[in-house]
Amino acid sequence: MSALFSPIRLGDLELSNRIVVAPMCQYSADDGCANDWHTTHLGMLANSGAGLVVIEATHVDRAARITHGCVGLYSDANEAALARVIAHCKRIGTAKFAVQLAHSGRKGSSQRPWEGGKGLHQNGGLDQPWPTIGPSAITFGEGWAVPREMEKADFERVTEQFVEAAKRAVRLGFDAAEMHIAHGYLLHSIASPISNKRSDGYSAGRQAGWRFIAEIAEAIRAAVPKGFPVGARITGSDWADGGMTPDDCVALATMLREAGLDYIDVSSGGVAAGIHNPTHPGYNVPMAERVKREAGIASRAVGLIADPAHAEEIIASGKADQVALGRAFLDNPHWGWMAAEALGADVARPPQYLRVGRKMWAKPGKA
């Protein structure tokens, strides 16, 4: 029996297998509102064979978006638009759906990647840039705007925004939610000493900045129904001297477990421009394994995992409880079907597509 296709429970949520579609920004929303592109994109992934689909980073404030095309969950219009998309996906598909709640911090107010990915302020304001915030007035990199250093009221407001977005996520029908504490966005920038040079109650480290992040987790946990899964994507390493390390990853994961979270997705990198991640498949797996073993919480591994045998080995050997794939699903939206065939497992298909299952093909030489 395939370990990858064995069921798993997160909170009160039962998932049919350990495959997760990782959140992938589409940069295609209309003023924060999901639209037909998202209906098509997510509708396709609803029948991908994955047990869970985590939709793209969904921002908790209009000024918390990365680009003008990013999805938000900060208004009634956002909520209504996303509710239509998720209702459609759950009606026609087999996967469960989670939302990743995010604040871009100092990486916000930027162009879409295919437009250059630079800060909007660089083109003279033609694309309506907005002010960004961060724990310290330190730019993400050359050519990026300097964020305004956050004051106490900003930290309080960010907490309220995450909580309100989580409530909206429950109302509109998501099955789970996760905090984005990675890739250099606001919560990660608060956690990392590379981007947080404060010396007050919000400085980087477990006694201040990490404690603030855990308090957001506690507030979200208290605001959503008991049993509703809440997790986080955190960084396993900043891949830079003086940055967060795998030891920090385990310590932060432990704090988040104590705050009531149900799982940790271990990613890495992105805290500052010019820092490069490793490029071998599964490079985050050792850190996910440490989180699972040492922090005592369900872990999810992500990072260039594309081969079904590799994904199977990660789960079967106990290195992680789930694997998340992004680009592999963009390349093959039915990756889960392909993995099931390779591993001799069964996966749910819509009845309209049952004829492509191996059992339905005629035997060689038969009509």
Hey, which residues are catalytic here?
185
Of the candidates 186, 267, 175, 170, which has an alpha carbon nearest to the alpha carbon of residue 220?
170
Contact 104, 65 (CB under 8 A): yes
Angle in degrees, CA 359, 360, 365, rounded to 5: 95
Residue partners of 245: CB distance under 8 A and separation at least 6: 237, 238
Q: Report how far residue 72's alpha carbon sits from residue 160's, in angstroms, rounded to the nearest whole number.
A: 15
Q: Report how far residue 82's alpha carbon sits from residue 95's, in angstroms, rounded to the nearest whole number.
A: 16
What is each CA distance from 71 to 35, 249, 295, 362, in whole angstroms?
9, 28, 32, 45
Q: Report how far residue 121's alpha carbon sits from residue 109's, in angstroms, rounded to the nearest whole number.
A: 8
Where are the extended beta strands (E) located within 118-255? 133-134, 148-149, 176-181, 230-235
Of the candidates 73, 57, 38, 51, which has an alpha carbon nearest to the alpha carbon of residue 4?
51
Tokens standing for 39? Answer: 């209906």
